[in-house]
A and B are shown apart, each in its own frame.
Chain A
Amino acid sequence: MAYSDKVVDHYNNPRNVGSMDKSRTDVGTGMVGAPECGDVMKLQIQVNSATGIIEDAKFKTFGCGSAIASSSLATEWLKGKSVDEALEIKNTDIVNELALPPVKIHCSVLAEDAIKAAINDYKTKQGAPVSAETVSH
């Protein structure tokens, strides 16, 4: 299969690889997919709780080149966005940006799911009744 230049670039130079401390209340973690399906994405965001802006994003992905590229691109797009803006990212944006072929659309869906899961996790933490780090509200 021929990959687009952008997929190859993200595969060769993945952006924002890494892990954050998932116990922190300003960190949201999304883990989607399953090993037997051939792809698992872990996407994490660190949010400035005063401004609601995503200040950092990290990923780790087990999956094909398109899955790696989709999650790498997602972290690039997440940084600097507000949580609400981040929810606007659609899998079709990723498909278009990376020129993914039809058989790889599920990779972009997985990346969108990972973004939503990470934001959901962050919001759940923020809504938690007792948290020493959410005094600013």
Chain B
Amino acid sequence: MSKPIYFDNHATTPVDPRVLEAMLPYFTENFGNAASRNHAHGWVAEDAVEKGRKQIASLIGANSKEIVFTSGATESNNLAIKGVAEMYAEKGNHIITAATEHKAVLDTCKHLEKKGCRITYLPLKGDGLVDLDMLRDAITDKTILISIMYANNEIGVIQPVKEIGKIAKERGVLFHSDAVQACGKIPVNVIEDGIDLLSITGHKLYGPKGVGALYVRRKNPRVQLTAQMDGGGHERGMRSGTLNVPGIVGLGAACEIAQREMPAESARLRALRDRLRAKLEANLEETYINGTMEHRLPNNLNMSFAYVEGESLLMGINDIAVSSGSACTSATLEPSYVLKALGLGDDLAHTSIRFGLGRFNTEAEVDYVAQKMIDVVNKLRELSPLWEMFKDGVDLSKVQWTAH
């Protein structure tokens, strides 16, 4: 069986062949430990790590000394939030985050809640954006950290990061942003955006899995973290563990390519995404875009196809890889918590599909996916009693359903 067309680039991306090529020597001939200071094997590895550090720093407007390598964004988020909570415990115990954050942030906050921290989970506006007034009102003299993602993994909505950074600065609160979906896709600059801590991962920007980084600001203010792993004191004592040299080389190369190609790539993906949206909207009625289109990643489209259940839709388009509802929690049969946070009813959340376009998608693929979606949605609507009722003018919200 040939593999399905890949439109799930928010879940992960393939490694760019140029990235793989850069990595390969560091598995074999350049295998040294970057912490070996007394021989050439170590020096070569260390040079490669420092080059990677520079490439990552350059992508986000940071200094290379501010990059701490991790195993990925889950670890970066854990280190940032737990590290701040422990280091600044004397200053306060209140953290502000948002309802649509990734589980790596939400569950980390829940963990801290059990340990005595107070967490505010900001609700979102219907368009998926944080309400800045609500954020301002939530800050107290005990607030030590605001953790708001740069761009959402389901609906691609880009938060007003610069404004959040300003508010945080005014109130003397640290600002962490999970930027895994944004880095390499849209311009991110930790200075201009006023970000103090930023999480990034390799596999969302055509780099390898299992490697990520945390940007930790060194000036204005100098951010300190309590390490979450004890050991050899690598990474300025913030993250012990022998560095994943090939992974870091790959992450660095991926960042450099992304930075160089971002203007052309984002324009191309935006055009493909808009083409997909236009075809779907021109040929299907009762489709709904989830989240604002105005502040959105160029490669994301999240759409609900009313009266057609998402899983049956996926079954009909089984030669296309996309996700429905919540990608990570679909086993629970619960509709996406992100869509619910936008105030979307469960019925529309059940009918949502996330399209995540990427570097290796083509216009021909977009046309195929659009046509397939149209055919399957039409077929399933013929099968749908809700569609029939809608067409007969029945107001579904007034129907007495039998709960089960």
Residue numbers of A with Cβ under 8 A of B are 3, 8, 11, 14, 17, 19, 31-42, 60-65, 67-68, 103, 106, 109-110, 113, 117
A38 to chain B, nearest CB (A): 4
21 A-B Cβ contacts within 8 A? A3-B315, A14-B383, A31-B402, A34-B403, A34-B404, A35-B347, A35-B386, A35-B401, A36-B345, A36-B347, A37-B404, A38-B311, A40-B401, A41-B385, A60-B383, A61-B385, A62-B308, A65-B311, A103-B333, A106-B404, A113-B404
B 325-344 to A, binary, CB cutoff 8 A, 1 in contact else 0: 00000010101000000000
Across the interface, do B404 and A42 meet the contact criterion of CB distance under 8 Å? no
Q: Is B396 an interface residue (CB 8 A)?
A: yes
Whether B315 pairs with A64 at a CB distance below 8 angstroms is yes
Contact between A19 and B388, CB atoms less than 8 A apart: yes
CB contacts (< 8 Å) of B404 on chain A: these are 32-34, 37, 106, 109-110, 113
- In the complex, are the beta carbons of B402 and A32 less than 8 A apart? yes
Given contacts A35-B347, A35-B386, A37-B403, 14 further A-B contacts (CB under 8 A): A8-B315, A11-B315, A11-B316, A17-B383, A38-B311, A38-B346, A39-B309, A42-B388, A60-B385, A63-B309, A65-B311, A65-B315, A67-B309, A67-B312
Interface size range of chain B in the complex: 20 to 34
Across the interface, name the chain A residue whose C-beta is closest to B331: A103
CA A49 – CA B396 in complex, angstroms? Answer: 32
**8 Å CB contact of B388 from A41, A60, A103, A109:** A60
Given contacts A11-B312, A39-B309, A64-B315, contact A34 B401 (CB under 8 A): yes
* Shortest CB distance A128–B (Å): 21
Q: B283: CB under 8 A from chain A?
A: no
B8-40 Cβ-contact flags toward A at 8 Å (1 or 0): 000000000000000000000000000000000
Q: Is B140 an interface residue (CB 8 A)?
A: no
Q: Is B384 an interface residue (CB 8 A)?
A: yes
> 9 nearest interchain CB pairs?
A34-B401, A36-B346, A35-B347, A42-B385, A64-B311, A60-B385, A65-B315, A38-B350, A62-B384
Q: How far is the CB of B373 from chain A (nearest CB, A)?
A: 16
Cβ A61 vs Cβ B401 within 8 A: no
A65 to B315, CA, bound (A): 7
Which residues of B, 298-318, contact A by the 8 Å Cβ criterion?
Answer: 307-309, 311-312, 315-316
What residues on B are CB-neighbors of A63 within 8 Å? 309, 312
> Which residue of B308, B309, B403 has the most chain A CB atoms within 10 A of its CB atom?
B309
Using CB atoms, name the residue of chain A closest to B401: A34
Residues of A with C-beta under 8 A to B383 = 14, 17, 60-62, 68
Residues from chain B with a CB closer than 8 A to the CB of A42 are: 385, 388
B396 to A, closest residue via Cβ: A35
Which positions 359-384 of chain B face chain A at CB distance < 8 Å? Answer: 382-384
Contact partner of B385 (CB less than 8 A), chosen from A11, A37, A40, is: A40
Give B347's nearest chain A residue, CB to CB. A35
Q: Which of B316, B384, B396, B403 contacts A61 (CB 8 A)?
A: B384
A113 and B401 CA atoms in complex are apart in Å by: 13
Q: Could you say which residues of chain B place their CB within 8 Å of the CB of A38?
A: 309, 311, 333, 335, 346, 350
Alpha-carbon gap, A113 to B403, bound state (A): 11
Give complex CA distance A109, B402 in Å: 13
**A109 CA to B396 CA in the complex, in Å?**
23
User: Can you name the residue of chain B whose Cβ is closest to the Cβ of A106?
Assistant: B404
